[in-house]
Amino acid sequence: LAAVLFVKRMSEVTNVRSMTGDADDLDDRYATDRNAAHLRDVPKGVEIYEISGPFFFGAAEEFKERLGQVAGRPKVLIIRMRDVPAIDSTGLHALRDVVHRTRRDGTLLLLSDVHSQPLVAMMRAGMLDEVGEDNVFGNLDDALNRAREQLGLPARARLAGAEPTVARESGEHKAVPR
């Protein structure tokens, strides 16, 4: 019973949302967040989805459902994970499904703001080889510049006032790549 309640609670605290839509649709947290995606110039053909909360069983199902609703085939899909402190095997499986789907559709998949535990879990599962280490970033600005590179657009400077959202961006975990 405790395990069932745990899974239910974890799925309730995790949210998956498109960050490429209208800024008016965002709640107060995103409206005042200096690191929010809507403050950046997101090129046409780029979709950003943000996962907030632990990426466990219930969240993995919601994630797959939300990504199934992506209209058309974006040229670049960025999965932002700044609020994902942990991922389990079902979350890894859901990400692997997205890797295969984007590859099939000719979409470049980028992961941004990946914390240490999810990054290590992805490394151990061999996912970094599938995604490509050059497609995993510690912050959204670098991921957007990789998207711009893919689209033949010039790079942009990091957004002024943006702060690191993961420990490895602030220099706390130098042993972990980027």
Which pLDDT does position 55 carry in this prediction?
84
Average pLDDT over residues 101-105: 92
Average pLDDT over residues 91-106: 92
Compute φ and ψ for 113, nearest 5 degrees. Answer: 55, 40
**Which of the four pLDDT bands, split at 50, 70 and 90, describes residue 177?**
very low
pLDDT tens profile 44-76: 999 999 988 888 866 777 777 777 776 678 999
pLDDT tens profile 123-143: 999 999 999 999 999 999 999
Which pLDDT does position 59 carry in this prediction?
72
Task: Judge whether residue 25 has pLDDT over 90.
Answer: no
Weakest-pLDDT range from 19-28, 89-98, 105-114, 154-163: 19-28
Q: Does an H or E element contain 17, and which?
A: strand 15-18
Average pLDDT over residues 144-168: 83
Q: Spell out the domain ranges in the chain.
A: 2-22+43-155+164-169
Task: Judge whether residue 35 has pLDDT over 60.
Answer: yes
Verdict on whether the full-model pTM lies above 0.85? no
Per-position b or e across 119-148, b if 16+ CB within 10 A of its CB: bebbeebebbeebeeebbbbbbbbbbbbbb
Q: Are 76 and 110 in contact (CB under 8 A)?
A: yes
Domain 2-22+43-155+164-169 has CATH 3.30.750.24: yes
Average pLDDT over residues 77-92: 92
